[in-house]
Amino acid sequence: MDQLGTVRIGVSGWRYAPWRGAFYPESLRQADELAYLASRLPTVEINGTFYSLQSPASFAAWNKATPDSFVFSVKGPRYLTHVLRLREFETPIANFLASGLFNLGHKLGPLLWQVPPSLRFNADRIEAFMAALPHDTEAALAIARRRDSRMTGRARLAIDARRPMRHAIEIRHDSFLDAQFIALLRRYRIALVVADTGGKWPSPHDVTADFLYLRLHGATELYRSRYSEGMLERWAEWIQTWRAGGRPAGADLVVKDFEPAYRARDVYCYFDNTDKVHAPANALRLLEMVNRPGNIGPAAPPPAKSAAASRAAAREKARG
């Protein structure tokens, strides 16, 4: 096919002390880490939002520090997924959407919802949650306006344009390996996260939306182990197949007799094997593989440096 989906490869989070001297230059200011990362990779997954609500000022600063073509995926709050366990989610979703996401503007990518390993599939509960998720920024703004009083003075309730919004759900319990769950994902146009967890949790590959969302947590050991050249080659081949609209040979499917529409799909891929500093190197190498001459099309390249990234590079050069 002539058209191909866009591939964005990055990492989950960017502030890790062990990365200093390995990925980040030793003398780089902590405040410049995001700008430096954005000069080398086209996307990042914001995971601080999983632990607590961030501020509109933080989202605005992240936007300013990154190039125009950069994209942020944003992880939904664990209070909603792990504490409330997808019950009574209306106000928490409103507070999350009001917390500053709109300050990312056109750089806002998919929202990631990770359910805990102890949560079993319940069709009614899951569908109620899916039905509440907004699919454009106008719908999201309407929800955000229903935030509670604790958001007074720390909310962003304006959008620059009506833009589409995407959602992805990461499962961690075998009960989700259910055709009914896959059907719900397809009905609500939500991506099933392809999560490589070294065999710890289920990792089906069913295509359920117009994009793929990959989280590579570790080849053999969760959050730690590196991906070898051979493993990265396999992921590169699968990514190229998905972006062209195909289905990789060997894909592990919940619903085996369903053939998704053959059309281009965007792919977001994030490395989360951070404990042993492998994530940035693996992401950069996979990006090189996908961009090799002779492949069916290039992934999103590292973007041109933003003003913030240029200033950081200049300071680094001056320090020698």
The reply to whether CATH 3.20.20.410 applies to domain 7-319 is yes
Give the model confidence (pLDDT) of 12-22 as tens digits. Answer: 999 999 999 99
What's the whole-model pTM score? 0.90
Other Cβ atoms closer than 10 A to 249: 8
Q: What residues contact residue 159 under an 8 Å CB cut-off, 6+ apart?
A: 102, 137, 138, 140, 141
Residues of the chain with pLDDT under 50: 1, 306-307, 312-320
- Give pLDDT, residue 277: 82
Residue boundaries of the structural domains of the chain: 7-319
Q: How would DSSP label each residue in 150-191?
A: GGTTS-----SS--B--EEEE--SGGG--HHHHHHHHHTT-E
- Give pLDDT, residue 299: 56
Give the model confidence (pLDDT) of 188-217 as tens digits. Answer: 999 999 999 888 889 999 999 999 999 998
